[in-house]
Amino acid sequence: MKKKDSFIVTIFIMTFILSVVFSSISNVIAATFNDIVLFFIMILVISIGILFDAIGTAGITAKEATFHSMSSSKIKGAKHALKLIKSGSKISSICNDVIGDVCGIISGGLGAVLAISLATRFNINNTLISVIISAFISSFTVGGKAVIKKIAIKKADNIIFGVGKIMYFFSIKK
């Protein structure tokens, strides 16, 4: 198997596992919490997708030269940031596609549960409330990603450096 093909298989497996884990968690949450909490969890899931979209976009637009000088100056997190940039297309694929798409699917599932709950509780037409919630999820996701992409392109080095610092922090905890 070619290295390129093994990455595709890895992405497939990672997506499957993430979907199972996050869908299971969201189903437990949906069954446990009231509609208001469910709404805020749905917003959180959408926000996570937007955040990772920023990281993925920054990963392919950040400048490697910035982090070479920081790395040679032994600035904490710079080496991790450099690794992210060097694997920018993979980071973009994981962040934008895998995590972003999984968050989109999960937010849609949470929205469906919320729509059914609201339709039942308030005797509202299920189709109407489903359309409204779907439109909200779509506009919040697409609008949020549009805004964050612009920021991620302008602040790519800062975003990747922030992620590099987080990665450094967790690497010294081991």
Q: How many CB atoms lie within 10 A of CB 160?
A: 30
Q: How many whole angstroms separate alpha carbon 107 and alpha carbon 43?
A: 8
Which pLDDT score is estimated for 3? 63
Q: How many whole angstroms separate alpha carbon 93 and alpha carbon 88?
A: 8
- Burial class (CB within 10 angstroms; exposed 0-12, middle 13-18, buried 19+) of 173: exposed
Domain count, the chain: 1
Instruction: Write down the pTM of the prediction.
Output: 0.85
- Written as tens digits, the pLDDT of the chain (174 aa) is 566 668 788 888 988 888 888 778 877 877 788 899 999 999 999 999 999 999 999 999 999 998 998 988 999 999 999 999 999 889 998 999 889 988 998 899 899 889 999 999 999 999 999 999 999 999 999 999 999 999 999 999 999 999 999 999 988 765
3-class DSSP state of 166: helix
Its domain, for residue 96, covers 3-172
